């Protein structure tokens, strides 16, 4: 296949590639596969090994799943199943542990905006950006109703996500995504609450910080009243990467207003075009038409050296699970070459990258790195090495100016 003619803003290569890490993999029977490591899921070494593999494939970044409730097949609460992985480590803490063990790959943990405070999350992600030297991101996530029972700080009437159009669901979604928008805005303001040169660190004069370069954010809205400033100096990227998973409607609007990357779940090339068009329209309404906003597609991948081998793996996993595998994202079963064909076809419909969900870890991550990446490189659409750059720079995103800084202000003594 010839090199794609599609160009992507700010990137030397026309295709960005990330992987989403979750437990033993995205297939519910993944933990029972021969190379799975269910006894190591709660160890730092397990996650370090996975991210090291992803980095060896020169991927843009990894995301790490998290939530404020146990994994479940039900949208409204625990399912009581004992044949699937349950329990996980904190994603932000995993990323911070892995950061010193890696050099280039971006680290994007999930952190929930419901039942948490923007001051805490902004501090954690800013810390990750410092520890990783400019490779941090954040996957913004809204809680499901069942998570309320773990906190008891807010009352939510009976809402069932099994009936998405049922009474109360639309109001619940609108309210919680509006809260998430304010949450992200507060976090971004706190990242800017220290100017880049606020720290003087002059031992000879005894001046460590210039207090005039620390700013209150004074945010007051329906859900948050935050004074500021933050307690972590401005992150190396200025603003760490903000991402979110969206399936349409309010999530698309939230991403268009606040995010740098939106993960979508299109099921076919026509769906890709429709999703991208809806997001770009929302981006224009939000006044961000000139901003670089990446649209990635999420795809669950189950790969084999041949189509027959991939089909055999899928059948074995389905037998172990006792039911067909379903997902909110499309499921690809096949070879790396065929997957590359699909990625390039969907890319021409307007996507700027992909977040692949390995069905089984480490098997499908190994296949992405060992088979898909070389195939994309042969087609001239993926990098051959990392550049010494931040995660934002790799994605063609500028380092934002600090909203509180005063232009051309002369240096002043610390107060």
Is the pLDDT assigned to residue 166 strictly greater than 90?
A: no
Omega cis (within 30) before 362: yes
The annotation status of 202 as a binding-site residue, yes or no, is: no
Distances (CA, A) of 360 to 56, 92, 103: 18, 22, 25
Q: What is the pLDDT of residues 126-162, one digit of tens each?
A: 999 999 999 999 999 998 888 888 887 776 656 666 6
Q: What is the pLDDT of residues 378-390, one digit of tens each?
A: 999 999 999 999 9
Sequential DSSP letters for 32-72: GSTT--GGGTTSHHHHHHHHHHHHHTT-SEEEE---SS---
User: Which DSSP category does 136 fall into?
Assistant: B
Looking at residue 407, what is its pLDDT? 53
Take residue 239 and report the two structure tokens written for it. 């603003």
Is the pLDDT assigned to residue 108 strictly greater than 50?
A: yes
Is the pLDDT assigned to residue 208 strictly greater than 80?
A: yes
> Smallest Cα–Cα separation from 23: which of 40, 6, 48, 3?
40
Q: What is the pLDDT of residues 356-370, one digit of tens each?
A: 999 999 999 999 999
SS3 content of the chain, % helix, strand, coil (to 5): 35, 15, 50
> Smallest Cα–Cα separation from 294: which of 13, 77, 16, 24?
16
Is the pLDDT assigned to residue 4 strictly greater than 70?
A: no
- Per-residue pLDDT averaged across 216-245, rounded? 96
Looking at residue 153, what is its pLDDT? 72
Average pLDDT value for the chain: 91
Task: Pick the more confident residue, 401 or 406.
Answer: 401
CATH 3.90.440.10 for the 16-152+169-394 domain, yes or no: no
> Smallest Cα–Cα separation from 234: which of 191, 200, 188, 185?
191
SS3 360: coil
* Domain segments of the chain as ranges: 16-152+169-394
Looking at residue 160, what is its pLDDT? 61
User: Which DSSP category does 194 fall into?
Assistant: B
- Per-residue pLDDT averaged across 181-202, rounded? 96
> Smallest Cα–Cα separation from 33: which of 276, 346, 316, 290?
316
Take residue 106 and report the two structure tokens written for it. 């971006």
Task: Pick the more confident residue, 152 or 182.
Answer: 182
- Per-residue pLDDT averaged across 312-340, rounded? 97
Q: Give alpha helix (H) positions in 99-248.
A: 118-131, 169-192
The annotation status of 110 as a binding-site residue, yes or no, is: yes
pTM over 0.85, yes/no: yes
Q: Give alpha helix (H) positions in 74-117.
A: 91-98
Looking at residue 190, what is its pLDDT? 98
Looking at residue 29, what is its pLDDT? 98
Looking at residue 1, what is its pLDDT? 27
Is the pLDDT assigned to residue 412 strictly greater than 50?
A: no
């Amino acid at each position: 296949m010839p090199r794609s003619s599609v160009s992507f803003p700010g990137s030397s290569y026309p295709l960005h590639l990330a992987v989403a890490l979750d437990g033993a993999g995205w297939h519910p029977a993944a933990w029972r596969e021969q190379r799975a490591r269910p006894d190591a899921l709660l160890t730092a070494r397990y996650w370090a090994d996975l991210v090291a593999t992803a980095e060896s494939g020169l991927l843009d970044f990894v995301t790490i799943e998290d939530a404020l409730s146990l994994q479940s097949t039900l949208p409204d609460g625990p399912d009581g199943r004992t044949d699937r992985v349950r329990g996980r480590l904190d994603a932000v803490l995993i990323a911070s542990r892995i950061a010193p063990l890696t050099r280039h790959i971006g680290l994007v943990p999930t952190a929930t905006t419901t039942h948490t405070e923007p001051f805490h999350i902004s501090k954690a992600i800013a810390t990750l950006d410092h520890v990783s030297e400019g490779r941090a991101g954040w996957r913004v996530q809204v809680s499901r109703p069942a998570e309320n029972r773990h906190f008891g700080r807010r009352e939510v009437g009976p809402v069932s996500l099994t009936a998405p159009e049922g009474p109360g669901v639309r109001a619940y979604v609108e309210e919680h995504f509006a809260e998430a928008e304010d949450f992200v805005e507060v976090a971004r303001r706190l990242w800017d609450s220290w100017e880049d040169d606020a720290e003087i660190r002059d031992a000879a004069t005894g001046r460590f910080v210039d207090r005039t370069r620390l700013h209150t954010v004074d945010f007051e809205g329906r859900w948050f009243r935050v004074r500021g400033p933050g307690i972590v100096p401005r992150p190396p990227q200025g603003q760490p990467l903000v991402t979110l998973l969206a399936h349409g409607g309010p999530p698309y609007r939230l991403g268009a207003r606040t995010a740098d990357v939106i993960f979508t779940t299109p099921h076919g090339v026509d769906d890709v075009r429709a999703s991208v068009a809806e997001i770009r329209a929302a981006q224009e309404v939000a006044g961000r038409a000139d901003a670089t906003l990446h649209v990635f597609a999420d795809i669950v991948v189950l790969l084999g050296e041949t189509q027959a081998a991939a089909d055999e793996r899928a059948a074995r996993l389905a037998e172990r699970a006792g039911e067909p595998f379903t997902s909110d994202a499309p499921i690809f079963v096949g070879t790396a070459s065929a997957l590359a064909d699909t990625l390039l076809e969907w890319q021409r419909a307007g996507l700027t990258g992909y977040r692949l969900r390995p069905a089984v870890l480490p098997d499908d991550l190994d296949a992405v790195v060992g088979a898909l990446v070389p195939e994309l490189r042969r087609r001239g659409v993926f990098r051959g090495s990392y550049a010494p750059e931040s995660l934002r720079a790799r994605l063609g995103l500028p380092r934002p100016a600090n909203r509180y800084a005063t232009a051309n202000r002369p240096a002043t003594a610390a107060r």
